Amino acid sequence: MTNSSLLAFIVLLPFASSLFLGILYLLFQNKIKELTYSIFGIGSVLTSSILTLYIATDFFQNENLNHLSYVAYEWLHIENFIINVGFFADKLSIVMISFITVIGTLIHIYAAGYMHKDEGFGKFFAFFNLFMGSMLLLVLGDNPIMLFIGWEGVGLCSYLLISYYHKDAQNVKAGNKAFILNRIGDFGFLIGMLLLFLYAGTNGFSYGALEANIASVSPTVLTSIALLLFVGAMGKSAQIPLYVWLPDAMAGPTPVSALIHAATMVTAGVYMVARFAFIYNLTPEVGIFIAYIGAFSALLAALIAAHQDDIKKILAYSTMSQLGYMFVAAGLGLYSGAIFHVFTHAFFKALLFMGAGVLIVAMHHKQNIFELRMHRSLLPITFVTMLIATLAISGVPPFAGFFSKDAIMAQAFASGQYGIWLITTFTALLTAYYMFRLFFTVFFGNRNIHLHEIKQSMQLPLIILAVGAAFAGFLNIPHFLGGDIQFSHWIAIADRAEHLSVTTEWILTLVNVTLGAVGILFAWKNFAYNPMPSDQSVINVVFMRKFYVDELYELLFVKNIRRLSYLFSTLIDVKLISEFIRAASAGYYKLGILTGQVQNGNVRFYALYMTLGVIGMSIYLLEFVK
């Protein structure tokens, strides 16, 4: 039996190391070696992942072990309302923290190479560890409050890391954008949480207590709770309409994109929906809404991605697209499928970003795929590993993405949501197209150019991740392929899985694979030999400018809010509030001067006051006291 206090250590180690690195950096900056920073930065996360795997093996070996919980101390206690600082791990959390810590460790190692000779090396690792700590807290907290602290923590870290190159105002703006849009989502999330507390929090606020109470909540309230919580997920997981921050977030260093905007933080929304499966199972109509949001996000992102030239932007939109798939699954009740896609996606998307990082460093910080074009023999490891990742995301069997994505589309078909099924299937075609557009454009050139040196620490993680991207899918082989969806059984969330006949499943799969192949062929035809950026026809420009959504938001919200702020700063603040406070202080001052006149130092006047006092008292005694 595992000691459940290990859970606390998993969360605490990155936090402690972040604090330590922060102090170290403030004291010494670049005067100590990068190696010192790396040892602590990577070491803490590595230890966390070892602890995680240790706990995970316990869950594997012991069938009866369903959850571990550890209460560190009582944080709040107001009558019946108790909030513990406690950690809780069931199989869902174990899956999440397993890939978070393992992939996190790999990205840390990679970052040590990528950030080599950066002046803020120590600061970067302090932020990185803080992020890991927050993410682990989000997953391991035993009540929604703890989840929310982690939720805000990752939001903060994403702000810090996106605007890491803060000397460029554009990057700071991107960081602000991410933070503010996340805050909008968090606002909904917070209200949802309060409602949850008001209506279901009578017996405590841990997940278990909430689940036990949820049946007593009226359906209308439950629907609003489910919707409001999902608003938070929209912000964090970059879904329509709060997705605009994700592409801009690529302003951060590439390891940041790999860690935060691909593998971990953006999946927090999916995790949250799966965690609150007991709510979403009672509100299937909200689920349908979520699924549609997911499907449209997937389609929109894929359409935009197919017309971008910046390698990181393409990957950012593909992340958003894949997140859409996850929400389709979560909305339609296939939570295990959603988590499984999160799991496989973490491997191949981290790999893609890290591969892109290698390309960017090798080509002296160019990001346009047409400028990155080179001969594949120049970077053989990157070529092979990125090929595996691209095949995986395109849903080519037997790579990881095939199994996870196929299951989602089958669920959409089986639930009778043919609209969603059509959209996701079409998006799958687009995915294969735009990913191979990137791949062929970059690797099928003939140029032999001098490359910047690539450190070993940047290559090794690619290989490990490639193994995951290739084989992770075998954990959840569906029935019609002779498997037993072990992953879905093991993780044991209350799925609403629908079943299809074997023939239908085969047909759907064949359709998907064929469409994927069509997409790849189409990309091969257009981009393998003589790639050209999209021409400037009207429709392409609309795609390239991301449907002008940024401009629309600017017009609708940003400008109006700016006007309002201007009004407040020039009129209300200066004229009203400042004047009021100034008048109040001047009034007291004048009153003081006035009463001060009495104190004139003349003993005769004091005698007069005394006499007046005595007269006053005498009158009082004579007239009013009977």
Partner 1 sequence: MIFVTDYMILAVLLFSIGIVGVVSRRNIIVLYMSIELMLNAINLIFVALSRQYEQLDTQVAALMIIAIAAAEAALFLAVMVLLFRNRRSLDANVFNLLRQKEATSND
Asked if 604 touches partner 1 (CB under 8 A), the answer is yes
Token output for 218 = 């009226």
Measure CA 297 to chain center.
Answer: 16
Identify the residue among 510, 552, 608, 617 touching partner 1 (CB under 8 A): 608
Identify the residue among 74, 585, 613, 619 touching partner 1 (CB under 8 A): 585
Token output for 278 = 């007991």
When the beta carbons of 377 and 599 are compared against partner 1, the nearer one is: 599
Q: Is the dihedral of CA 586, 592, 594, 597 positive or negative?
A: negative
* Closest separation in Å from C-beta 608 to partner 1: 5
* Residue range at the interface with partner 1 (CB under 8 A); choices 41-49, 115-123, 541-549, 595-603: 595-603
- In whole angstroms, give the CA distance from residue 270 to residue 324: 10
Asked if 601 touches partner 1 (CB under 8 A), the answer is yes
Identify the residue among 518, 582, 591, 613 touching partner 1 (CB under 8 A): 582
- In whole angstroms, give the CA distance from residue 189 to residue 201: 16
* Residue range at the interface with partner 1 (CB under 8 A); choices 50-58, 223-231, 533-541, 603-611: 603-611
Identify the residue among 194, 552, 586, 617 touching partner 1 (CB under 8 A): 586
* Closest separation in Å from C-beta 621 to partner 1: 17
- In whole angstroms, give the CA distance from residue 173 to residue 171: 5
Asked if 570 touches partner 1 (CB under 8 A), the answer is no
Identify the residue among 611, 613, 618, 619 touching partner 1 (CB under 8 A): 611
- In whole angstroms, give the CA distance from residue 549 to residue 532: 25
Asked if 603 touches partner 1 (CB under 8 A), the answer is yes
3-state secondary structure of 445: coil
When the beta carbons of 492 and 607 are compared against partner 1, the nearer one is: 607
Strands (E), 152-299: none
**45: Cβ–Cβ under 8 A, 6 or more apart, which residues?**
13, 14, 17, 101, 104, 105, 108, 129, 132
**422: Cβ–Cβ under 8 A, 6 or more apart, which residues?**
none
Identify the residue among 557, 580, 589, 620 touching partner 1 (CB under 8 A): 589
Angle between helices 456-471 and 380-393 (to 10 degrees): 30
Asked if 618 touches partner 1 (CB under 8 A), the answer is no
- Please name the helix (run of DSSP H) or strand (run of DSSP E) that holds residue 69, with its range, or none: strand 67-78
Q: Which residues pair with 67 in a beta bridge?
A: 90
* Closest separation in Å from C-beta 595 to partner 1: 9
* Closest separation in Å from C-beta 603 to partner 1: 6
Asked if 538 touches partner 1 (CB under 8 A), the answer is no
* Residue range at the interface with partner 1 (CB under 8 A); choices 116-124, 352-360, 570-578, 600-608: 600-608
How deeply is 442 buried, as exposed, middle or buried, from its count of CB atoms within 10 A (0-12, 13-18, 19+)?
Answer: buried
**200: Cβ–Cβ under 8 A, 6 or more apart, which residues?**
210, 213, 214, 216, 217
When the beta carbons of 603 and 621 are compared against partner 1, the nearer one is: 603
Whether 284 contacts 333, CB under 8 Å: yes
* Closest separation in Å from C-beta 619 to partner 1: 16
When the beta carbons of 538 and 603 are compared against partner 1, the nearer one is: 603
When the beta carbons of 418 and 609 are compared against partner 1, the nearer one is: 609
* Residue range at the interface with partner 1 (CB under 8 A); choices 35-43, 221-229, 245-253, 587-595: 587-595
Identify the residue among 1, 593, 621, 622 touching partner 1 (CB under 8 A): 593
Identify the residue among 218, 456, 536, 597 touching partner 1 (CB under 8 A): 597
**3-state secondary structure string across 319-364:** HHHHHHHHHHHHHCCCHHHHHHHHHHHHHHHHHHHHHHHHHHHHCC
Q: Which residues pair with 70 in a beta bridge?
A: 87
* Closest separation in Å from C-beta 581 to partner 1: 12
Angle between helices 34-61 and 91-114 (to 10 degrees): 160
Identify the residue among 571, 574, 607, 619 touching partner 1 (CB under 8 A): 607
When the beta carbons of 61 and 600 are compared against partner 1, the nearer one is: 600
How many residues bind partner 1, per CB under 8 A? 18
Identify the residue among 365, 453, 596, 622 touching partner 1 (CB under 8 A): 596
* Closest separation in Å from C-beta 610 to partner 1: 10
Asked if 600 touches partner 1 (CB under 8 A), the answer is yes
Binding site for partner 1 (CB under 8 A): 582, 585-586, 589, 592-593, 596-597, 599-605, 607-608, 611
